[in-house]
Amino acid sequence: MSTALRPPPPAATTIGPWPELPDDGPLWTVPGAALDAAQLDRLEREQVGD
C-alpha cells in the first residue's frame, strides 16, 4: 500500500482552498452626509488628542 498523497479532484483545484468572504465594502465607505458638523468637529478633536 502506498502512503503517497493522491492529487485533489479537479473541482477542488478550481474552487480554491478558502471559503468566499463576505462583502465588507460598507465598512470602508465614507459616511458622507450621515455626519453633521458637530460630529465631525468632535471626531477631528479626538484625532488631534483633545
Alpha-carbon distance of 28 to 4, in angstroms, equals 46
pLDDT band at 1 (very low <50, low <70, confident <90, very high): low
| Residue 47 predicted with pLDDT over 70 | yes
Cα(44)–Cα(50) distance, integer angstroms: 9
**Whole-model pTM?**
0.33
Strand, coil or helix: what is 41?
helix
pLDDT tens string 27-41: 887 777 767 888 888
The mean pLDDT of the chain is: 78
Q: Cell for 8?
A: 485533489
State yes or no: pLDDT of 2 exceeds 60. yes
Q: Grid coordinates in use for 1? A: 500500500
Identify the CA nearest to 31 among candidates 48, 22, 21, 43: 43
Q: What local confidence, expressed as pLDDT, does residue 45 receive?
A: 93
